[in-house]
Chains A and B, each alone.
Chain A
Amino acid sequence: MLFNSFTYLIFLPIIVALYWLLPAVCRRGLLLVASYVFYMNWIPAYGLLILLLTVVNYFLGLAIFAHQKRRKLVLTLGLIFNLGCLCFYKYANFLIDSLFQSATWLHTKLGLPLPVPVTEPVVNIILPLGISFFTFEFIHYITDVYRGSQPVKNFWNFALFAAFFPSQIAGPIKRFQDFMKQLLEEPVFRPSTFQAGLYLIFLGLFKKIVLGDNLGQVVNIGFNHLDKLGTLDAWIAVVGFQLQIFFDFSGYTDIGRGSALAFGYKVPKNFNWPFLASNLTEFWHRWHMSLSTWLRDYLFIPLGGSRGGAWKTRRNVMLTMILGGLWHGAAWHYVIWGAFHGGILVLTKEWQDFVSKIGWLARLRPHPIWHCAGVLVTWFLLFMAGILFRSDTMPHALAMAQKLFVPASSGQVVPALLESTLPVTLSAYALFLICSVCWERSDCSQPDAKLASQQPSRTGWRSYAEGVAQWWQNSFAAQAVTYASVALIVLGFAPGKMEPFIYFQF
């Protein structure tokens, strides 16, 4: 079930209404059933897969806790089981294809007597939605139990953690300690929380449908018609893709977080102004945060982290990012995308060390121009990496990169952008961001002492705006009209067909 589908539009309000109308004792059961209905809406049989993984990991958690002496063995078996499932469903065809291509090359080019089949064997597997995400949650669970956390005793609570539909398909990757705490506290209906959820759902829909999907149409024209691409077209397509994936994924996350809030649950944030990062290391602290922290805690640190000297740290960064790339998709261009990010992260560290050693460079670092230059360089690197991510093959990626730097007259992308609603909607979103920042910065009630000192007294417009906000929060009519208007705007600016979320394929 897609968050941007009519089915979800019917599904969510029904479940939310039932959830709060039912006695508290029935709510978790309802959420669990709803989560399975949500998941099985696509391929019902895959409900059994998530159930099997849940049952096995539940008992693995208990076994690790109960058998402390053999916990390493149980953990290893658990990792093999979880990663085995992931590899089978996600990487089987990738492995077969890579082996077949290698064998064919060795056979034809080097004349090695290998038994290469005439046609490439293919395993007919449909990738279960969200498997990459919930497998990572299971790995986190058994690893944390191995590291000393208490396992979840109640199977149904654990099943709900595993299947919770607002974060089931594309994250954010939850931590069971946070989720269980909320689960055991029994969420209470609070209109303010519900309102915050509703706001996030609408914001997410706007990002996904109005911005992401419309950008996708322009980007597709660019990436699908390389032969007719001018230089400006290529740049628009490449920049557009980076924005598209942000709006698509952060839109999904907002809808997921908003849906969770409607039930009184908080799931982690995934984005924190990623395009303001002044280097790639900072970018990964702001982009897909639940994945980057997972990679840090369950891959980078177990590999040795930064404990074994400079070279081992570099190796661990590279390995983490390459595997992170492979996690995104079973194709070589994702691997290279990961390696690119890993390489730049290593270089960033080297550059930072170099700068701190050179006095005059180190003095320049706090300067805003230094920061702005860093932001621009980071954007450029992201655009280059985005080509690897978006292209179907490496030759396609190279051809696209070439288009950026070889001057050519414009083709179809520029007119498509100008004819679309994007100039208006992107400007409106930029204005919204500026207003948000002004609003936050003028808020003296924030615990940030620095900000408070900058704004010693509440300005006239601020108190007026707060009065309007207070009135709005107390008026059901005002809220109804506002949300109906936003819904109409989303419908009006939506492209003809709803597109699935990009991260669903991962």
Chain B
Amino acid sequence: MTTAEISRTANQSALAPGKHRRWWQEAVTFAGLSAVAVILLELLFATCGIGGQEFLEPDPKLGCRQIPGKQVTWRLEGFSNDYLSSSGHRDVEHEQAKPVGTKRIMVLGDSATEGLQVPLGNTYCRVLERHLNSGSAGRSEVLNFGCSSYSTGQQVLQFEQQAVKYHPDLTVLLYVSGAALQNVYNPYKRVAEARPYFFIDSTGRLQEDDSVLLEQATAMQPNAVLSFLRKNSRIYGVLSQTNLSLSIHEKLYHKIRGWLVSLMARVQPAQSNKFKRLLYPPQDVWPVTSKLITRLNDVCLANGSKLIVMIFPNTVNDPVQTKQIAEFIRLSKQERFGLLDLTPAFKANPDPSSLFLQYHFSSDGHKVAAEQLAAFLKNQKQIDGTTAW
């Protein structure tokens, strides 16, 4: 409809008498046109790389996981267009069995490690692997197990359940203070994200709390249609992304959604009551996190791997993170794991802002992180010859 026609139609004194169509004709038209529209939209979105940001699916043990083999086109911050590996990681293909003569570094982390904001080849894991293989006779593999939204606790469980099977010689965990906040939750809160949480019991032991996962187990059960749409439909990706974007940016939407979720929980009391939540006093983040790191270190050592914790650069001088770094220094000495704080290197860069996009590393940031890690590995070898590197 053109501008001239708009004014013409707006000027019409009454609606032109149209033929009244029967309801079944309208229903058939609706069905037919909807099918055509779906096909055309899927083609359009696929061609333009739209709706390809849906890359996580529910996981009964970890809360969520990346969808194996999914093509992801990322536009939220930065840009990338790559496939996840067949094992479901932001990585190139790796056999589970370690090739003879190859040394493996397993990298755990959240979205900062996953690095969807930059092309796969520019993530610090890929850069590090190229770096390590360029200068030495031996072959090295760097495996990227980073997954968006993972807490430190989920990273530890991921290592115990999946990563050990890859027999890493070295394990690197990129610690982001925001991820640690998700290790604990308030059990009295009605709505909580489906993931394993942790707490320290009255005897001082670290305990896992899966009650939220169990509570939402029904909703998380594999649904064939939903799984298919999540993996294959761009329209589903657009709707899912819109839901996320509105939840973050639109207060009213967030309120309405929260209200609906609460309402659903009240409407279906039978299901909610099936799984009683574990009740314990509110937890401080750091004691739980330090116990998780200790546990990861123990599991690494038990499986012949050495742990290095790399700390996400604190370029904004966040006091909470500054305090955590001090705690990490103490813990690393006590538990004897490697510690690399990226803050000094990032601050020393002539243009620190170029190392980040909004919240995540830019390609330059990934490069600096990889260089720092490579230098750290080299120094560690010089300090104690017993390390894997």
Interface positions of A (Cβ within 8 A of B): 5-7, 10, 190-193, 195-197, 199-200, 261, 266, 269, 416, 419-421, 424, 436, 439-440, 443, 446, 469-470, 473-478, 480-482, 484-485, 488-489, 491-498
How far in angstroms is the closest Cβ of chain A from B316? Answer: 18
**Given A419-B79, A440-B4, A474-B19: A5 touches B238 (CB 8 Å cut-off):** no
How far, in Å, is B183 (CB) from chain A's closest CB?
27
Contact yes or no, B10 A196, CB < 8 A: yes
Residue of B at shortest CB range from A445? B8
* Beyond A476-B26, A496-B77, 14 additional pairs, beta carbon < 8 A: A6-B253, A192-B15, A192-B16, A199-B1, A419-B79, A421-B49, A481-B34, A481-B37, A482-B37, A485-B37, A485-B40, A492-B238, A494-B245, A495-B75
| B248 smallest CB distance to A (angstroms) | 8
A195:B9 contact, CB within 8 angstroms: yes
**B252 proximal to A (CB < 8 A):** yes
Check if B223 is an interface residue, CB within 8 A of chain A. no
Inter-chain CA distance A495–B50, complex, in Å, is 11
Query: Which residues in A have their C-beta under 8 angstroms from that of B47?
Result: 424
Given A493-B48, A493-B50, A496-B245, residue A478 in contact with residue B10 (CB < 8 A): no
A421, B26: Cβ atoms closer than 8 Å: no
Judge whether B49 and A7 touch: CB under 8 Å.
no
Contact yes or no, B44 A489, CB < 8 A: yes
Q: What's the Cα separation between A424 and B234 when bound, in Å?
A: 17
Q: Which B residues touch A5, using CB under 8 A?
A: 250
Query: What residues on A are CB-neighbors of B238 within 8 Å?
Result: 488, 491-492
Contacts of A446 in B (CB 8 A): 4
Q: In the complex the two chains form, is B79's CB within 8 Å of A440's CB?
A: no
The reply to whether A424 and B48 form a contact with Cβ atoms under 8 Å apart is yes
Dominant SS among interface residues on chain B: helix
Which residues of B (72-109) have their CB < 8 Å from a CB of A?
A: 75-77, 79
Contact between chains at A473 and B245 (CB < 8 Å):
no
B279 within 8 A of partner (CB): no
Q: When chains A and B are docked, how far (Å) is the Cα of A478 from the Cα of B26?
A: 8
A7-B250, A495-B75 in contact; A193/B12 too (CB < 8 A)?
yes
B48–A421 touching, CB < 8 Å? yes
Question: Of B37, B79, B245, B252, which contacts A10 at CB under 8 A?
Answer: B252
Query: CA A192 – CA B235 in complex, angstroms?
Result: 30
Q: Chain B contacts of A473 at CB under 8 A?
A: 16, 18
Known: A193-B12, A261-B10. A498 touches B50 (CB 8 A): no
CB neighbours of A10 from chain B (8 A): 252
B14 CB contacts on chain A under 8 angstroms = 190
Per-residue A-contact encoding for B9-30, CB less than 8 Å = 1, 0 else: 1101111101101000011011
Q: Check A491/B37 contact, CB under 8 A, given A190-B15, A193-B12, A421-B49.
A: no
Residue of B nearest to A480 (CB): B30
Taking a contact as CB atoms under 8 Å apart, the answer to whether B37 and A484 are in contact is yes
How close is A452's CB to chain B, nearest CB, in angstroms?
13
Chain A residues with CB below 8 A from B49, complex form:
421
Residues on the B chain within 8 Å of A497, using CB: 245, 249
How far is B49's CA from A193's CA once the two chains are assembled, in angstroms?
Answer: 36
Contacts of A439 in B (CB 8 A): 2
Q: What CA separation (Å) do A334 and B217 show in the bound complex?
A: 59
Q: Does B41 contact A (CB under 8 A)?
A: yes
Lowest 5 CB-CB distances: which A-B pairs, in order? A474-B18, A477-B30, A6-B250, A492-B238, A419-B79
**A193 with B34: in contact, given A6-B250, A10-B252 (CB under 8 Å)?**
no
Selected contact of A492 from candidates B6, B30, B50, CB within 8 Å? B50
Q: Distance (Å) between the CB of A362 and the closest chain B CB? A: 33
The SS class assigned to the A binding surface is helix
Contact assessment for B21 and A475 in the assembled complex, using a CB-CB cutoff below 8 Å: yes
Judge whether B376 is part of the interface by a CB distance below 8 angstroms: no
A7 and B165 alpha carbons, distance in the complex (Å): 50
CB-CB < 8 A to A192: which residues of B?
Answer: 9-10, 12, 15-16
Most chain B Cβ neighbours within 10 Å, of A424, A477, A493: A477
Neighbour of B15 across the interface among A191, A200, A269, A477, CB < 8 A: A191
Query: Which residue from B6, B15, B75, B252 sits with its C-beta under 8 Å from A6?
Result: B252
- B29 and A477: CB pair below 8 A? yes
Inter-chain contacts of A469 with B (CB < 8 A): 1
Can you list 7 A-B contacts (CB < 8 A)?
A7-B252, A192-B16, A475-B29, A478-B33, A491-B241, A493-B48, A494-B245
Tell me the nearest residue of chain A to B242, going by C-beta: A491
Across the interface, name the chain B residue whose C-beta is closest to A446: B4
Cα-based distance from A266 to B8 in the complex (angstroms): 12
Cβ–Cβ contact B41 & A485, under 8 A: yes
Distance between Cα atoms of A478 and B1 in the complex (Å): 15
Residue of B nearest to A421 (CB): B48
Q: Is the CB of A477 within 8 A of B26?
A: yes
**With an 8 A cutoff between CB atoms, is B51 at the interface?**
yes
Max chain A CB contacts within 10 Å: which of B9, B19, B37? B9
Determine the distance from Cα of A454 to Cα of B253 in the docked complex, in whole angstroms: 53
Knowing A192-B10, A475-B29, A481-B37 are in contact, say whether A492-B246 is a contact too (CB < 8 A).
no
B356 contacts the other chain (CB 8 A): no
Q: Which residues of B contact A197 (CB under 8 A)?
A: 10
For A482, the chain B residues whose CB sits under 8 A away are 33, 37
Query: With the chains together, A446 CA to B13 CA distance in Å?
Result: 18
A482 to B21, CA, bound (A): 18
Residues of chain A within 8 A (CB-CB) of B389 are: none
Tell me if B6 and A199 are in contact (CB < 8 A): yes
Among B33, B77, B79, B252, point to the contact of A481 (Cβ < 8 A). B33
Nearest residue in B to A439 (C-beta to C-beta)?
A: B2
Residues of B close to A475: CB separation below 8 A:
21, 26, 29
B45 close to chain A: CB less than 8 A:
yes
Chain B residues whose C-beta falls within 8 Å of the C-beta of A491 in the assembled complex: 238-239, 241-242
Q: Is the CB of A440 within 8 A of B2?
A: yes
With A5-B250, A488-B41 as known contacts, state yes or no: A196 contacts B6, CB within 8 Å: yes
8 Å CB interface, B230-262 against A: 234-235, 238-239, 241-242, 245-246, 249-250, 252-253
Most buried by A among B1, B19, B49: B1
Name the residue on A nearest B30 (C-beta): A477
Complex interface residues of chain B between 44 and 77 (CB less than 8 A to chain A): 44-45, 47-51, 75-77
The complex places the Cα of A420 from the Cα of B73 at a distance, in Å, of: 11
